[in-house]
Amino acid sequence: MKKKFLSVFLIIFSLAFSQNQKPKLVIGIVVDQMRTEFLFRYSSLFSDNGFKRLLNDGFFYSNLHYNYVPTFTAPGHASIYTGTTPVNHGIVANEWFYRGLKRDVYCTEDFSVVSLGNPDKNKEGQMSPKNLQSSTITDELKLATNFKSKVYGISMKDRGAILPAGHFANRAYWISDNGNFISSNFYGNEFPSWVTSFNESKRYMKYIQEGWKLFKDISYYKDCLPDDNPYESTGLKIHKKAVFPYLLTEDFAQTGPKVIKSTPFTNNLIVEFAEELIENEKLGNGDVTDFLTLSFSATDIITHLTGPRSIETLDTYLRLDDLLGKFLTFLDKKVGKGNYLLFLTADHSGSENPKHLKDHGYDISSLNAKEMENKLRAYSIEKYGKDLILSYSNQNIYIDDALISPSKKFNEIVKDFANFIESFPEVKRAYTEDEILNISAVDEHGSMIFRGYDKKQNGQIYVLLKPGYIEYKPQGATHGSSYTYDTHVPLIFYGWKTPHGTSSEKHYITEIAPTIAQKISITFPNSTNSQILSEVIKY
């Protein structure tokens, strides 16, 4: 009898063990423009079910950084999932002037595809991952399972959905200005009926009708700047000032559903859509691991408008905390607690508002990129008798070598422009192409510029601003630099075979993808640096 019982026990144990060798589902969450310090600053305000649950039961890397510039959304998402930087994966910004093509390029543009899902404008859906030069961890999962794994990406932004999901995704979905979740026929011509039904339900309307009121009692926001302050703006046309409550029906009457994109409620739509997708596409329900990527963009939109110390930004994070708690509960029930592996990070961090800092004694300011470009063009005409500037884009200066006479030495002209721009009081240094390509490893900022530089796409000069200066409007805040306020982001691993713990050692965003590859025993993305986060592998 004992032998029979032991045999049954061993069989059950063996089956359970074999079924748990890989997670049923991997979920990658990117919170757009999330600063690591939010987890500390807002800690006492969060519930026990969202961010705190991840921190209390997961593994937290508190000193994770981006190791390149520019720290923007598209290269951030690409770097997280490829395990490499723009010098390899080719996504050098969100939108940039492409030197070889001599025109502006958008990171996920693809004019060979057509939109699906009834977007507001067809061009909203003419997107694909074709500009991404490296493979992603999601691609490698597809290859490892002979394309049996299901991979989906969801975001408000096309780039936040497409780049993480990779080249082989079943589909990526993003939100049109008309409120619909849309895609392109890059992923196939058939559009799921459940998505059409979801779009027809117009779920955004309940949020527009309710408006944006404070999520918690006003006492929760006591450490924020006043609701009415000079450092913030609003993305709404009718609601002129960034103050609560936001009556969204008035703007909806003027601009239609896209009003939802200036609120926290696109995050709600992302979670609702993700739960429907998991149900309808049966993610985490098969014999192989599936992968779902989610990118929450509302945090970025709100912080751009109102800055990192506004009531609006805190309210957006309190709402996201609540959403995460509900989503984790859904995953526990649908996929099973311990059956899914989740990580949460950010595509970049973000700056303070320069005017706010200046008003408190720090002598910095916001800069106008167009004014910088105009000064470069005026200098070119004065010095050389012609405008040699093709573009000034993302702190890159593009010089038109076709306009330079053979008697002139091009490198000398490039250096001349670099010297001119370095005379500006807000500029720390101007790096020429030759300097970037031959950079010393001990040059901290130069090394980051090199890792974000593609000779065929970028300009001949990169302009490094002094700390605290940003090229942005006077209100709100932005990102993009090589300084820690833009590079420092959180990383939490949670769930399947993940220990509880914290590491304050410095790590880099490019270590996430190879770590997941090691953890679920698949091939590394093809251009990753292969450095891993060993603490979450050993468990």
Which pLDDT belongs to residue 404?
81
CA atoms within 13 A on the CB side of 324: 28
35 is in an annotated binding site: no
Say yes or no to pLDDT of 209 above 60: yes
pLDDT-based confidence at residue 239 (cuts at 50, 70, 90): confident
Is-contact 265 298, C-beta < 8 A?
A: yes
Say yes or no to pLDDT of 20 above 90: no
2 is in an annotated binding site: no
Which pLDDT belongs to residue 497?
97
Say yes or no to pLDDT of 6 above 90: no
pLDDT-based confidence at residue 8 (cuts at 50, 70, 90): very low
Q: Which of 73, 263, 313, 316 is catalytic?
A: 73
The proportion of the chain whose per-residue pLDDT surpasses 90, expressed as a percent, equals 93
Which pLDDT belongs to residue 462?
98
Q: In whole angstroms, how far apart are CA 533 and each of 53, 139, 177, 358?
A: 21, 20, 39, 39
Domain ranges in the chain with CATH number 3.40.720.10: 22-352+483-536
CATH fold of the domain at 366-466: Gyrase A; domain 2 (3.30.1360)
Which pLDDT belongs to residue 15?
38
309 is in an annotated binding site: no
Say yes or no to pLDDT of 13 above 90: no
Q: Which residues contact 39 (CB under 8 A, 6 or more apart)?
A: 51, 55, 60, 490
pLDDT in tens, 364-378: 999 999 999 999 999
pLDDT in tens, 382-441: 999 999 999 999 999 999 988 886 767 999 999 999 999 999 999 999 999 999 999 999
Say yes or no to pLDDT of 219 above 90: yes
pLDDT in tens, 90-103: 999 999 999 999 99
Domain ranges in the chain with CATH number 3.30.1360.150: 366-466
Average pLDDT estimate for 49-55: 98
pLDDT in tens, 474-489: 999 999 999 999 999 9
In CATH, the architecture of 22-352+483-536 is 3-Layer(aba) Sandwich (3.40)
Average pLDDT estimate for 336-351: 98
Average pLDDT estimate for 329-338: 98
DSSP of 394-405: TTEEEE-GGGS-
Average pLDDT estimate for 502-530: 97
Let me know if 73 is a catalytic residue. Answer: yes
Average pLDDT estimate for 224-238: 94
Say yes or no to pLDDT of 87 above 70: yes
Is-contact 261 230, C-beta < 8 A?
A: no
Mean pLDDT of the chain: 95
Which pLDDT belongs to residue 407?
63
- Percent of residues in the chain assigned helix, strand, coil, to nearest 5: 40, 15, 40
Which pLDDT belongs to residue 2?
47
